Structure formats: structure tokens, C-alpha cells
Amino acid sequence: AQKITQTQPGMFVQEKEAVTLDCTYDTSDQSYGLFWYKQPSSGEMIFLIYQGSYDEQNATEGRYSLNFQKARKSANLVISASQLGDSAMYFCAMREAAAYNTDKLIFGTGTRLQVFP
Amino acid sequence: NAGVTQTPKFRVLKTGQSMTLLCAQDMNHEYMYWYRQDPGMGLRLIHYSVGEGTTAKGEVPDGYNVSRLKKQNFLLGLESAAPSQTSVYFCASSYGTLAKNIQYFGAGTRLSVL
């Protein structure tokens, strides 16, 4: 079974609008961490934002925020005021408690976001 | 700010040839990882290391070997390359066992096996 599911292969958004990229996860652990990475066309993987399972508030980093709904096991990335430079692949990833001693991440298949003027 | 550096950036091999991918990090990280990225499959862990001199298998280790002789370097070897190993390879590193433990990635190596 997929541990990380990103159901949107591609998304379009107009510049300056907000966009939500979906991520659902599957784990039986109570303690886990959720990450979002950005991969622009140049290829590198850039860390964006982190949410811990015990964090009471949704994580925010500048224009990025994470809509964490624990009961629904979803960790959607919200990008506000989209910019042309936001066009990229976005990956959701999870680290489960059992993996804390190895720091292994499980990645979703990604969502390609395209921002148009 | 070098961070994680991968060499080479591109490589074309013939089936059966061997090669080594080098990953170097200057952040004094304990943990290092090798992933492969294939279309529609996200990133999959090949091998990882939790410290100098230690290595372990990840999700897709077959056909690869690794070594971590120095803390800052993590080598990925292909002894006899196969077309199925055509992929983009990423190295990553992190501090270790913290809840908010960010993995930092290199720029990737694009490998084609003909």
C-alpha cells in the first residue's frame, strides 16, 4: 500500500493566486514527521516545510503553509501568492517513528505545478 | 556554501560497464543516503549510512554497492551497469536522529545505460 499518496499529477495556477497541493499518508505510528520538497527544472531537491505529528499548529514558512489534518491523515501544501518561480515538481515525504534511528524518508510520486501569468 | 556535492553530473555507460558516483558533504552530517528517481515513482532509497564505516540497504539495493570510508563521502558503485539502472541519482545527508531532521540533497547525477 502506498504510504504517501499525491493524487494530482499536475496543477495549474495563475500568478498571485493561492494553490493547494494534496498529500495523504498512511501510518500506524503516533509519532512521525511530514516534509515537502520542491524540485525545479534544474533538478535539485529543495526542502520547503516540516510538520511533526505532535505539532499543535500548522507549519508555516513564508508563502508556504502546511494544512495538517491528522484525523484525515492529510498534509496539504498551500502556496500563497504564487510566483512564476514556483513552477516545479513538489514532493511530499514522511518519516515514521520506526525510522527515526535511520532517518529514512518515504516519498510520494510528486505533483507538477505550473504557474502562468 | 557547497552543502552536498555530487560528481559527475551526467554519465553515459554501456551495458556491463562499471562506475562510481561520488557524494561529498561539508556539513559534518552523520547520515548519508543514495536515492534514485524514476518518472512517476518519486524517490526510492538505494542504500544509506548512519555513520562512517557503516552502510545498510534501502528499498532498491540490487545492483549497487556503497562505501563510507570517510564521514564526508558516500560512494555509490555500479559493478555491471544495466539499462534498468538508467535514472537520476540523488545523494542526501542529515544530522541524524532528530524529529525535525532535514535531509539536504545534491543536484543529482543523470545516468544513462545503453
> With bands split at pLDDT 50, 70 and 90, how would you rate the model's confidence at A96?
confident
Distance of alpha carbon B75 from alpha carbon B86, whole angstroms:
18
pLDDT of amino acid B95: 83
Contact assignment for A31 to B41 by CB distance below 8 Å:
no
pLDDT in tens, A21-79: 999 999 988 888 999 999 999 889 999 999 999 988 999 999 999 999 999 999 999 99
Contact residues on chain A for B41, CB-CB shorter than 8 A: 109
Between chains, do B45 and A50 touch, taking CB under 8 Å as contact?
Answer: no
**C-alpha distances in Å from residue B59, one per residue of A89, A107, B36:** 22, 12, 10
Model pLDDT for residues B18-68, shown as the tens digit of each residue? 999 999 999 999 999 999 999 888 899 999 998 999 999 998 999 999 999
Interface contact flag, B105 A45, Cβ < 8 Å: yes
Closest CA to A53 of A68, A37, A36, A72: A68
pLDDT at A26: 94
- Partners of A66 on chain B (C-beta within 8 Å) are none
DSSP one-letter string for A60-82: EETTEEEEEETTTTEEEEEE-S-
Identify residues of A whose CB sits under 8 angstroms from chain B CBs: 4, 31, 33, 35, 37, 42-47, 50, 52, 91, 93, 95, 100-105, 107-110
Which residue in B has a C-alpha nearest to residue A90's C-alpha? B42
Residue B106, pLDDT score:
94
Q: Cell 544513462 sits at which residue?
A: B112
Instruction: Identify all chain B residues contacting A90, using CB atoms and an 8 Å cutoff.
Output: none
Answer whether B74 touches A (CB < 8 Å): no
Instruction: Render pLDDT for B57-99 as a digit per residue (tens, 0 to 9).
Output: 998 999 999 999 999 999 999 999 999 999 999 999 998 766 6
